[in-house]
A = this chain, B = another copy of it.
Amino acid sequence: MLDQKPNKTEDQHTDLLRQFHLRPTRQRLALADLLFNGPCRHVSAEQLRLETKNKGINMSLATIYNTLNQFTKVGLLHEINLDNNVTYFDTNTDHHHHFFDPKTNKLIDIPRDAISLNALPDAPDGHDVERVDVIIRLS
């Protein structure tokens, strides 16, 4: 009965951050709210700055970068780089693939098993395969 929705998700994010040994500060909770509530997202730091600004949350761009990098380091986010030399952060950290529309710089997720990769070549010399990324560029 005391389980009110607004507090519930906030509490969930508090727990989430604690799990990764990140203090649940106001700024981190605000970003977690924007990133991990709705469906999966692909966002840049600048986009998040606008979103926090529109919600009346005061947060410097440096803190947004620092926070996104921390989230990435602990595995809450995944980094993607495209043509325009802007870093995008993917809230879907599962192994999966992407459509990319160069006109809008938008990414669309493709589930991992929607693409079957056969006959992958062996990794060279002393290396192992860490991940395979497929990017289907649209026109």
Contact = CB atoms under 8 A, between A and B. Distances in A.
Interface of A: 79, 81-87, 99, 101, 108, 110, 114-121, 123-124, 127-139
A36 B50 CA distance: 44
Contacts of A81: 81-85
B138 A127 contact: yes
Copy tally for this chain in the complex stands at 2
A121 B115 contact: yes
B99 A124 contact: yes
**Closest A-B pairs by Cβ, 5 of them:** A130-B139, A127-B138, A116-B118, A131-B137, A133-B135
A79 B84 CA distance: 11
Contacts of A118: 115-116, 118
Which of the listed residues A82, A84, A108, A127 has the most CB atoms from chain B within 10 Å of its own CB? A127
A123 B135 contact: no
Contacts of A132: 134-137
B134 A133 contact: yes
A101 B137 CA distance: 22
Given A120-B136, A135-B135, 15 more contacts: A81-B82, A81-B84, A81-B85, A85-B87, A108-B124, A114-B119, A114-B121, A116-B117, A123-B138, A124-B138, A129-B136, A129-B138, A129-B139, A130-B138, A134-B134
